[in-house]
């Protein structure tokens, strides 16, 4: 009887692509077209530390407390639809799909690292009650099963969530906003930790969590997220930093020293030297 009801249900409610809604075969998640349209990250062209494309690397502008961040997908198109459907609409099949690809990403990029455990970015209690689940915990639990690693619940705690990161566009402000937001406990001591989040935008949340884990004795922290948001523009702080360096840059051309400033280039001889 149950099999008959299941068959009737499949006939009247067929499986559909999580991205475009096309009817697909039972057991599939995306149609062939949407699967081909997934934009995957290329780790060969990325900084292994901050995760950005090499030309967008921010390691020289930021003090990073984690040792690396990898993601299977770029935050765009089909991958974004899948992730946001999972995150905000409870489409758990999306979480399964993302976790499987995150596990592959970890195996490919962290194969030479002996990880001890997994933890995840926590949610504020009020947000958790409103949504009903923490998508990062779901991803972490599935990753634990796929990678054979224990998941440490409660290793990180969210103690302050006054301003939502989603509302802040400036990268520098994102780092400032999460300062003091998380705390860790001493069970992180001597552990090599895999930190899980859903989306990397500026890396500020991962960085603050890693900072707290290291503060409580973790050996190192490596990160994995489902999506990575590509950088479009430099932050105001980075632009100011470049202008400052250019103003006082010294060029030597024979006996003439040229100082390149924001309003042009001035020349000065070497005087009595």
Give 24-71 pLDDT, tens digit per residue. Answer: 887 788 999 999 999 999 988 999 899 999 999 999 888 999 999 999
pLDDT digits (tens, 9 = 90+) for 147-185: 999 999 999 999 877 667 766 767 778 888 888 899 999
Residues 17, 28: Cα–Cα separation, whole Å: 8
pLDDT digits (tens, 9 = 90+) for 71-80: 999 999 999 9
How many angstroms separate the most distant Cα atoms in the chain? 102
For 265, phi then psi, to 5°, come to: -120, 130
pLDDT digits (tens, 9 = 90+) for 103-124: 999 999 999 999 999 999 999 9
Q: Look at the alpha carbons of 64, 68, 74, 75 in this order and tell me if their dihedral is positive or negative.
A: negative
What is the pLDDT, as a whole number, of residue 231?
A: 83
- The whole-model pTM stands at 0.79
Q: Residue holding tokens 């990678």? A: 147
User: Do 190 and 217 form a contact (C-beta atoms < 8 A)?
Assistant: yes
Residues 194, 117: Cα–Cα separation, whole Å: 6
What is the pLDDT, as a whole number, of residue 2?
A: 58
Residues 30, 13: Cα–Cα separation, whole Å: 16
How does DSSP assign 39-59, residue by residue? -B--GGGB-TTT-SBGGG--T
Residues 224, 73: Cα–Cα separation, whole Å: 11
């Amino acid at each position: 009887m149950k099999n008959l009801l299941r068959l009737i249900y499949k006939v009247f409610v067929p499986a559909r692509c999580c991205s475009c809604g096309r009817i697909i075969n039972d057991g599939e998640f995306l149609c062939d077209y949407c699967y081909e349209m997934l934009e995957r990250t290329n780790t060969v062209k990325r900084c292994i530390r901050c995760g950005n494309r090499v030309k967008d690397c921010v390691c020289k502008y930021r003090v990073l407390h984690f040792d690396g961040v990898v993601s299977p997908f770029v935050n765009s198109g089909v991958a974004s639809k899948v992730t946001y459907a999972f995150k905000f609409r409870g489409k758990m099949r999306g979480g399964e799909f993302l976790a499987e690809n995150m596990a592959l990403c970890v195996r490919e990029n962290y194969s030479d690292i002996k990880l001890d455990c997994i933890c995840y970015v926590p949610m504020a209690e009020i947000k958790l009650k409103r949504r009903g689940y923490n998508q990062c915990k779901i991803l972490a639990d599935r990753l634990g099963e796929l990678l054979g690693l224990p998941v440490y619940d409660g290793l990180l705690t969210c103690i302050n969530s006054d301003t939502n990161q989603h509302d802040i566009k400036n990268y520098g402000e994102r780092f400032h906003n999460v300062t003091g937001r998380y705390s860790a406990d001493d069970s992180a001591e001597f552990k090599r930790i895999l930190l899980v989040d859903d989306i990397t935008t500026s890396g500020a949340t991962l960085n603050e969590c890693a900072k707290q884990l290291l503060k409580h004795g973790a050996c190192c922290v490596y990160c994995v997220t489902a999506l990575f948001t590509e950088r479009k523009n430099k932050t105001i702080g980075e632009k100011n930093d470049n202008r400052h360096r250019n103003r006082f840059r010294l060029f030597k051309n024979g006996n003439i020293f040229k100082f390149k400033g924001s309003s042009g280039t001035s020349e000065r001889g070497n005087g009595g030297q």
